[in-house]
Amino acid sequence: MKLTGIILAGGRNSRMGGVDKAFLVVDDKRIIERTVKLLSGIFDELLIVTNAPERYSISDVKLVPDLIAGVGPLGGIHAGLSACGNEAAFVCACDMPFLSAETISAQLAQYEREKPDCLIARFGKWLEPLHSIYRRELIPIVEQTLRGGQRSIRDFIERCSNKSYFELTADRQKSLRNLNTPDDLKNE
């Protein structure tokens, strides 16, 4: 089964002082370049959801704007799923420099076995909805959640009846790490 890779790059970056986190440099490479290279090797279709397409002129990557503006990452998931050409998509954030092909492949294998509507990464009780797989048929549930005034991805996940969890071991937890503040970047 083919899946789409979706990178959400629409945040305000307020905790990073307004600096676009996708363009932070880790190990001499911008995070967005690392992510595109990694996901291009896994997925046949790759999308970046952004309302600033002029910043993301990366070849062979389709740029998608939010369809419902100002509603955060759930709006990005909605736009990405609406634009993807496959039945499901792996969704990640643009500020995750340590994504792992091995971890994503293991998650994809579990998705293939179970075929849930969504497969959410989890470490203990901590959920990471931006390292997860969602089926396109969830678009109406995303829209219902947003129309109900809820912007939380967790509220949306609660509405999904056929969900599974991808349990992360401690050695895979680094794949979920994101950079939110200047201190996070300094510690890398």
Residue numbers belonging to the annotated binding site? 8-10, 21, 66, 95
Handedness of CA 177, 30, 55, 105 (dihedral sign): negative
Structure tokens that stand for 127 in this block: 């959920």
Q: Which residues contribute to the annotated binding site for GTP?
A: 8-10, 21, 66, 95
DSSP string spanning 39-64?
HHTT-SEEEEE-S-GGG---TT-EEE
How many CA atoms does the CB half-sphere of 154 hold within 13 Å? 5
Residue ranges for the binding site for Mg(2+)?
A: 95
